[in-house]
Every structure is written in C-alpha cells, then in structure tokens.
Amino acid sequence: MQKIKKIGKLIYKLNWKFKVFYLFLTVFFVFLINIAIAPLHKMQEFEGLVNSDSLFLEKYDSIYNHPEMRLLVKEKAFKEALLKLAESDSIQLVINLSDSTVNLSIKGVMIHQTKIRSIGSDKIFDEMPLIQEVKMFSKPLSVYSQYATFEKEPVVVRHAPKDTLDAALNAWQPDTLIQNPAFMILSVGYGINLIFEQEDNPVFQDKWQKFNFYNRLRFINSIRAVSNFVRLKKHDYHPAITIKMPVDDLRAIYRALPNNTFIVINF
Amino acid sequence: MEFLDYIILKLKENCLKVRGIFRRTIQFTIHFLKSNIIVLSAAALFLIVPLLIRVVVWQRPKTGFNVTLVNNKKLISAQQKIEREISRLNRKLIAKRPKSYYLVINSASNEFSLFKGDKMIKKDKCSTGSYILLKNGEQQQWMFKTPKGEFRIQGKTTSPVWKKPDWAFVEEGLSVPSANHYTRFDYGVLGDYALSLGHGYLIHGTLYQRFLGLPVTHGCIRLSDENLELVYRSLQAGSKVYIY
C-alpha cells in the first residue's frame, strides 16, 4: 500500500510533459492489447457459430473426430458446398487447398483450373477444430468485396471519327503487352481475407506494386483498428489466406468473377 | 615528401576528430539511457507485453469434440456411411457437367477449349471483345465486350452474311444508312460458319487471322478457319458455351 502511495506521489510530482507522455503510452498500450487479443475474439465467434446451431450439433457425430474419419468428413463437407454452389447462375470460385488448386465454376461445371504455387494461411485455420471447419465451409461463402492492382474491365474510350480520313488516321492497333502486376484481395464471409499474389516478381515494378498493395492493406487495417478503438469496439480481426499463382490465371479469375459471387474453400 | 607528410598529418587529425565524435556519441547515448531508464523500460514493456499476449493467444488449447474410444465396427460402419454419401454427392456433381460437346472461352487470355464430357478435344487461340467504349457524341455509345456466363448455341449457319449494325458505320466515320440498305450486308467476312449465342453474339471466322489471341472483336468470338469448322461440326443447337 505504501509503495502504491509512493508511486502516486511520484506521478503527482512529475512534469506535465511526462504526465502527457505516460497517458499517451497507456492509451497506446491498451490499444495494442486490444489488437493482440483480437484473434481470441475471432475464435470465440467461430465457436459461437457452432454452439448456437443445435440442429448442426445434433447431426454432428463425435466419431467424425476420429483421425480415420477426418478426411472423409472434410471431403463430404466440400462436396456439399460444391453442390450448393452449383445452384447459383454466376461464375464462382472454388479454392481447394488440400490439392492446391483454384477453379472457376459455373453451375457445377469447372471451367478453369490453376495450380497454386504456394499457400500461406493464418494460424487460426491451423488451430481450427474439425467441427468448426465443417460448420463454416460446408456451404458457399459470399464475396463481399474485391480489390486488385489491375482493372476488372480494361475499358478504352474511343470517340467516333468525323469522317473516313479521321478513321484511317486514328486506326486502333490491338495490344495486350502492357499489363500491370497482379495482386488481388477478396473479403469473404466470416471476415476472411483471401490474398492472391502473382507467382513471380522479376522486375522492380512488380516488387513496388507488391509493396504498395500490402501497404494499402496495412493502412486500411490501421484505420479500422483506430476507428474501432475510438468507438470502444473490439478490434476486427481478419484471418487471411495468401495464395500465389501464375499471373495470367490471376487476371482471368479476377476478370471472370462478378461483383456478388460465392466461394467455396476446402482445407 | 613534405606533401605526403602533410597528407598523413591531416589524415591523423581527421581520424582523431572522428574518434572524438564517436566517443562523445557513445557517452551521450549511455548518459541518455541512464537518465531515462524508467521511461524507456516502460515504453519497451508496453510494446513487448502485447506481443507476448498475442503469442499466448495462439497457444490457446483447441476446443471442440474430443475423440471418444470407438469400437472398430462402429468406425467402419460410419466410414461406409460417409463414403456412400460422398459417392452420391459425386454422382450429382458429375451430372451437372454436359455429357456431349461444350465450349469454354477464356476472354482474359483469348483462348478457347472444346470439351467432350471431361475430355479436352482442342485448345487454341481465339479473339474476344476489345473493351472499347465507342462514343458518338453524348447520345450514343457502344461497349464492345464479350458477355460472361453460361450460354447455349441458338442456331448454326453456313456462309453467314454480316448485317452491319449502326456502330460498324460510326466506327469507320461513315453515315448510318437505312435499316435494309444494301451497304449493310457484308459477304464473306464472318468465315464459312457462324454459331449464334443469342442477342447478336456469334462464334464466327475472321479475315484477320493475325489478331487471333488478342482482344479485338466487337463482342463476338472469332476462331481460325480450322477451329471454326471443328467447333461447327462438334456443337449442336442447344450445346453449352461457357464464357469467363
């Protein structure tokens, strides 16, 4: 008790600049703690999804957790999700992390397949119990937002020529050689971020674009974190899966996906 | 020699100066650390503690159902049941895929693939929409892009004649003629065959074979003569075409 009083007196005696400094440090400390414990909130949210669905819990047999059943249960969940996905008319994305492929599908028909070169996933997915995986990924997830470093529709505006001479002088030459480096992010259900990177970054422009892409992501996350903190809300943690693939496939996938689409993920 | 001595002397002087600056910097740093030890250690602690908390969060024990001891019979029967369900789902998924010929067009890389069931028959270059937005003043505009999604072949024709729409004249700086004016009818530019996808979109041939593999069309799909014949012979009215 005496020690606390001593510290209190010490603080009281402090210069006002130091008081402000300590106050700022304390607020910053609380802010960092808020960020540090954010995955815990996410895990609890995922647990809550399972526990609140009594019908699902009834159907889920504890024998599924047996190591010999695990793969079969996951496969069944994946097939169920694919079948539900086939009910939609638009072009959708299927990410199969177990066989390292990304597919585009329309009404159950796989129209494009590409091999993933490397996968990086958040620790939250490694620690995820099977029951949560089945609950979350046995149905398609909505894609809420899409962003890429290249255009979805590379529209070229041309004005009609006045006469045939003007048309001949301004004849358009087709060219697809100019292509921006490709990095893409999809925000899907459960607050999951899917980050797609082009496989190689051979020139400086690619590296610079990658740097800018991740900086943009960090900036958005920081703004969101500060905004949540100021409003006394929990920090919104977005688990991420990073996928590297050939650049042409990445462009084809982004350009094919409509704005409101669905995605199936298999771990 | 004198010049050399002078240079050496100057170098020594400079070395001593640098050493002095270096020593003073170290002394200042040590003094600063000693005098602000409490503040600095508090700041370091404030940064380290959240990091430690994040590490602890990831070490949180797994929750969920525990594996209970099961006898072999129960396990085998559960496996068989789930395998049956998987094969039922697989059958449903396979049924979604067309059994006969179908065409898949990748408008980003300007390639097509012709399939029969799950077997790829041919993959080659094609041309799709250029994404040009042609503006004729403020009133009229046309977007030359190939639509995406699932389509069906609506009809097939040999030796097709192109009835030029308005934009074909506007694009060339010509005045737009009446609806059935003879200048609207162009013979031989669409190749030997054309397959209709509806809404005016066709799969046809081209005079500009060198542009195959590039996005140059007004929304139609252009194939080389050889590929067009193969596609024409393979696809029937009602066959599916997937464009992405």
Is pLDDT above 60 for A1? yes
Is pLDDT above 70 for A189? yes
Domain assignment of residue A21, yes or no: no
Q: What is the pLDDT of residue B66?
A: 57
Tell me which residues of chain B, numbers 157 to 176, contact chain A at a CB-CB cutoff of 8 Å.
170-174
Question: ipTM for the complex?
Answer: 0.85
Q: Residue A110: closest CA among chain B residues belongs to which residue?
A: B97
Nearest CB partner across the interface for A154, out of B131, B242, B244: B131
Q: Is the CB of residue A246 less than 8 Å from the CB of residue A199? A: yes
Q: What is the pLDDT of residue A91?
A: 95
* Residues of chain A with C-beta less than 8 angstroms from the C-beta of B110: 176
Residue A210, CB half-sphere, CA atoms under 13 Å: how many? 16
Is pLDDT above 60 for B67? no
Q: Report which DSSP code applies to A107.
A: T
In single-letter form, the type of residue at position A251 comes to R
Confidence of residue B62 (pLDDT cuts 50, 70, 90): low
Q: What is the pLDDT of residue B198?
A: 94
Q: What is the mean pLDDT of residues A8-25?
A: 77
Q: How many domains does chain A have?
A: 1
How far apart are alpha carbons A195 and A121 in whole angstroms? 10
Q: Which residue has the tokens 């370091």?
A: B44
Confidence of residue B68 (pLDDT cuts 50, 70, 90): low
Burial of A69 per CB tally in 10 Å (0-12, 13-18, 19+): buried
Q: Kindly report, residue by residue over B43-52, the tens digit of the pLDDT.
A: 788 788 888 8
Q: What is the pLDDT of residue B244?
A: 95
Nearest CB partner across the interface for B108, out of A157, A164, A252: A252
Is pLDDT above 80 for A182? yes
Instruction: Give me the percent of chain B exceeding a pLDDT of 70.
Output: 95
Q: What is the mean pLDDT of residues A246-267?
A: 93
- What does the buried/exposed string (b/e) look like for A159-175 if buried means 16 or more CB atoms within 10 Å of the residue's CB? ebbeeeeebeeeeeeee
Residue to mutate among B36, B88, B150, B216, with most A CBs inside 10 A, is B150
Q: Report which DSSP code applies to B37.
A: H
Q: What is the mean pLDDT of residues B124-132?
A: 94
Per this entry, what is the length of chain B?
244
How far apart are alpha carbons B139 and A235 in whole angstroms? 49
Q: What is the pLDDT of residue B164?
A: 92
Q: Which phi and psi angles does A26 have, rounded to 5°?
A: -65, -45
In single-letter form, the type of residue at position A252 comes to A
Is pLDDT above 90 for B104? yes
Write out the two tokens for B41: 């250690």
Write out the two tokens for B59: 């070490």
DSSP-derived secondary structure for B108-119: TTTEEEEEETTE
Confidence of residue B41 (pLDDT cuts 50, 70, 90): confident
pTM over 0.95: no
* Residues of chain B with C-beta less than 8 angstroms from the C-beta of A106: 149-150, 242, 244
Q: What is the pLDDT of residue B40?
A: 80
Is pLDDT above 80 for B15? yes
Write out the two tokens for A104: 């585009």
Confidence of residue A175 (pLDDT cuts 50, 70, 90): low
Q: Kindly report, residue by residue over A199-254, the tens digit of the pLDDT.
A: 887 888 899 999 999 999 999 999 999 999 999 988 989 999 999 999 999 999 99
CA B162 to chain centre: 32
Domain assignment of residue A22, yes or no: no
Which of A125, A249, A121 is CA-nearest to residue A195? A121
Query: Helices H, strands E: what count in chain B?
Result: 5, 13
Q: B99 in contact with A at a CB cutoff of 8 Å?
A: no
Q: In terms of pLDDT, which residue wins out, A16 or B161?
A: B161
What 3-state DSSP class applies to A244?
A: strand
Q: B208 in contact with A at a CB cutoff of 8 Å?
A: no
Q: What is the pLDDT of residue A65?
A: 85
Write out the two tokens for A148: 């890429």
Q: What is the pLDDT of residue B69?
A: 62
Confidence of residue A176 (pLDDT cuts 50, 70, 90): low
What 3-state DSSP class applies to B12?
A: helix
How far apart are alpha carbons A196 and A119 in whole angstroms? 10
Confidence of residue A5 (pLDDT cuts 50, 70, 90): confident
Question: With an 8 Å Cβ cutoff, are B62 and A127 in contact?
Answer: yes
Domain harbouring A65, CATH code: 2.40.440.10
Tell me which residues of chain B, numbers 31 to 50, contact chain A at a CB-CB cutoff of 8 Å.
39, 42-43, 46-47, 49-50
What is the average pLDDT value for chain B, to the nearest integer?
90
Q: What is the mean pLDDT of residues B128-155?
A: 93
Domain assignment of residue A108, yes or no: yes
Three-state SS sequence of A159-224: ECCCCHHHHHHCCCCCCCCCCCCCEEEEEEHHHEEEEEEECCCCCHHHHHHHHHHHHHHHHHHHHH
Confidence of residue B55 (pLDDT cuts 50, 70, 90): confident
Q: What is the pLDDT of residue B227?
A: 96
Containing structural domain, residue A60: 52-152+179-266
Burial of B1 per CB tally in 10 Å (0-12, 13-18, 19+): exposed
Q: Kindly report, residue by residue over A55-78, the tens digit of the pLDDT.
A: 898 888 888 888 888 899 999 999
Tell me the CA distances in angstroms from A44 to A128, B67, B216, one per residue in order.
11, 21, 52
Q: Is B38 left (phi over 0), alpha (psi -120 to 50) or beta?
A: alpha
Q: Kindly report, residue by residue over A84-127, the tens digit of the pLDDT.
A: 999 988 999 999 999 999 999 999 999 999 999 999 999 889 87
DSSP-derived secondary structure for B205-244: --S-GGGTTS--BSSSEE--HHHHHHHHHH--TT-EEEE-
Q: B73 in contact with A at a CB cutoff of 8 Å?
A: no
Q: Which phi and psi angles does B236 have, rounded to 5°?
A: -110, 170
Strand order in the sheet with A101-106: A109-115, A101-106, A91-96, A262-266, A141-148, A183-188, A192-198, A240-245, A118-121
Question: With an 8 Å Cβ cutoff, are A156 and B97 in contact?
Answer: no
Q: How far off is chain A from B202, nearest CA to CA, in Å?
A: 20
How far apart are alpha carbons B122 and A159 in whole angstroms? 38
Confidence of residue B195 (pLDDT cuts 50, 70, 90): very high
Q: What is the mean pLDDT of residues A186-205?
A: 91
